[in-house]
Structure 1
Amino acid sequence: MSQLPALILAAGRGERMRPLTDHTPKPLLHVQGKPLIEWHLEALARDGVTQVVINTAYLEEQFEPTLGDGARWGLRIHYSHEGHDHGGALETAGGMAKALPLLGDAFWVLAGDVFVPGFRFDPQAARDFAAQTDWGRMWLVPNPAHVPTGDFALNAEGRILRKDHAPSGTPAYTYSTIGLYRPAMVDHLTVGQKAALRPSLERAIDAGRLSGTLYTGPWVDVGTPERLAELNRRPTSQG
């Protein structure tokens, strides 16, 4: 099996990043000398991914002129235009559902607005996931200051649990916005339906079909102008 395709989520408005995002989509803001999304494209190409889908809505006309067809990274980029087709962003699960025809039976998903320079899109992890029956595998990170209690619990067997249903003492972590998924995660949604990801993840948890891995490398949710400025004060490629 060749490396799985990837969906980069890049459709959002980036309200908390205003005024920087008034004229530039958040994934195209520069981090350490290049658009944030280029860090992802370089990492995906390095790890053997060749097919990438980018979903767009806000200022979506800027993406293709900036990134092209992906040839400069050895990638083939396809675009899923939510703004043109549906009048606006469909949120994470809705964006995944719309992009399914371009993604196949299993695929990577990652947000275009996180900086995670050391993450490896491990081909073995992709092969292992493709051979299993889980609907998803999420990478979690230690809780940053802005998510002090985490998003989900992760037990010793590598299963994701709802925090409020987990046994006492089960650690909770924050979703990195990187995961491996199957169409089953979102195929209950109608194409064009606006839908957040969390209800679909909780549906998978309740079905016993969601696993997780803790990632402890550098990771930054580039969600405010202050975090972006801090990244740009650091030496290149440090998180």
Structure 2
Amino acid sequence: MKAMILAAGRGERMRPLTDHTPKPLLQAGGKPLIVWHLERLAAAGFADVVINHAHLGAQIEAALGAGSQFGLHIRYSAEPAGALETAGGIAQAMALLGAAPFLVINGDTFCDWDVAQAPRIAATMGGDLAHLVLVPNPEHHSKGDFVLNHGRVSVDNATDSSLQHNDSNESVRPELVEGQLMQGKCGSTGSPRTVTRLLERPAKLTFSGTGIYRPELFAAIAPGSRAKLAPLLVEAMNADRVGGSRHNGRWIDVGTPERLAALDAELVRLG
């Protein structure tokens, strides 16, 4: 199974650190962020990795080379300075990724999800176009992205906008629903069946940036085109072709200098 690491972002929120260094090469715990991913992939038995790049991409190629130092074979997908967005970048790299399902990881995250699970998940995807790894919502993204319900991922279109959801990863708090039922905000009947349905409605989780995809998901995107990933995923979700799983372990969106410094301090402390 092949893996792709997304490394083409400009890293605007990380400036001035990214003015002269591409974000995936910023260090935490004594090594570049992207190296943590490469080492985990190699340890899990992956051999072929594709890395896309745009901003200061030559530095990434110079630092990582062909991947032999990690026991990997790395190939690069160069993008124009403006980058192609996530889906566009993946579509651009399809010639390197092949015709089988592949793993994609955001290069600016730190995550201890076991990538060795990916081949097994790919083998059991059936007709799904994607399998997303979702995580509990961090403070800076408390509303989450998608709903995970019995292994299926959706956009939560059925959510009643009059209901107050908490920003954790629990179901809607019973006291809030009961209070709104008493105020007549949850329908005219307030029947036990309605209450149960509302209480069991899961809250949203955050997409970790790690996913397993079939090439068909990107078939309509011409190489070199800019395209976002979210609309493709939503379309597939609406067709019930996206599965998912929840990861409760370590995950950090290293999107600011402060988060990078906190991660670095933690990794140094853990040795």
Does TM, scored on the shorter chain, surpass 0.5?
yes
Return the match for 1:142 from 136, 143, 150: 136
Q: Distance in 1 between matches of 2:269 and 2:86?
A: 27
- 1:17 matched to 2:26? The reply is no
Q: For 1:90 and 1:80, locate their aligned partners in 2 and report how far apart those are by CA, in whole Å.
A: 11
Letter in 1 for 2:95: P
Distance in 1 of aligned mates of 2:16 and 2:75: 29
3-state SS, counterpart of residue 92 of structure 2? helix
Q: State whether residues 28 and 267 of structure 2, in contact with CA within 8 Å, keep that contact through their aligned partners in structure 1.
A: no
Counterpart of 2:101?
106
Whether 1:217 and 2:212 are equivalent positions in the alignment is no
Preserved contact between residue 87 and residue 229 of structure 2 (Cα < 8 Å): yes
Aligned counterpart in structure 2 of residue 43 of structure 1, from 29, 40, 44: 40
Mark the runs of 5 or more structure 2 residues left unpaired by the alignment. Answer: 160-196
> Could you tell me how far apart the structure 2 residues matched to 1:16 and 1:44 are?
27
Distance (Å, rounded) in 1 between the aligned partners of 2:223 and 2:42: 29
Q: 1:235 to 1:38 in 2, by over 3 A?
A: closer
TM-score, normalised to structure 2's length?
Answer: 0.81
* 1:164 maps to amino acid: N
Residue 96 in 1 paired to residue 93 in 2? no
- Measured in 1, the distance between the counterparts of 2:158 and 2:208 equals 21
From the superposition, tell whether residues 165 and 185 of structure 1 become closer, same or farther in structure 2 (CA, over 3 Å): farther
- Does the residue aligned with 1:41 lie in a helix, a strand or coil? helix
Alignment: residue pair count = 229
- What amino acid does structure 1 have at the position aligned with 2:8? A
Matches of 1:130 and 1:237 in 2, distance apart?
38
Task: Give the match for residue 174 of structure 2.
Answer: none
SS in 1 for 2:147: strand
Offset of 1:110 from its aligned partner?
0.5
How big is the shift at 1:221?
0.3
Alpha-carbon distance in 2 for matches of 1:136, 1:120: 17
Is the contact between residue 151 and residue 163 of structure 1 (CA under 8 Å) also seen in structure 2?
A: no
CA contact (8 A) 1:36 1:115 kept: yes
| Equivalence for 1:26 | 23
Paired position in structure 2 for 1:172: 204
* Aligned equivalent of 2:151, options 146, 158, 161: 158
Q: Is the deviation greater in 183-192 or in 193-202?
A: 183-192
Work out which of the residue numbers 153, 159, 184 in structure 1 matches 2:216: 184
Matched, 1:66 2:63: yes
Query: 1:133 corresponds to which letter in structure 2?
Result: G
How far residue 234 of structure 1 moved from its aligned partner, in angstroms, is 1.3
In the alignment, residue 227 of structure 1 is paired with which amino acid? R
Give me the CA root mean square deviation: 1.5
Give unmatched runs, 5+ long, in structure 1.
Answer: none
Deviations 1:150-181 (A, max 9, x none): 100111x2100112335742221000000100
The letter for the 1-side match of 2:239 is: A
TM-score w.r.t. length of structure 1: 0.92
Question: Which range moves more in the overlay, 48-57 or 159-168?
Answer: 159-168
Aligned to 1:149, what secondary structure does the other structure show? coil
1:193 to 2:187 alignment: no
Task: Name the % identity.
Answer: 50
Task: Please tell me whether the aligned partners of residues 33 and 110 of structure 2 are also in contact (alpha carbons under 8 angstroms).
Answer: yes
CA apart distance, 1:187: 1.1
| Larger CA Rg, structure 1 vs 2 | 2
| Residue of structure 2 equivalent to 1:130 | 123
1:237 CA drift (Å)? 8.3
CA deviation digits over 1:183-211, x for unaligned, max 9?
Answer: 11111111111111100100110111100
Q: 1:160, 1:44 → 2: CA distance?
A: 25
Kept after mapping to 1: 8 A contact 2:34/2:108: yes
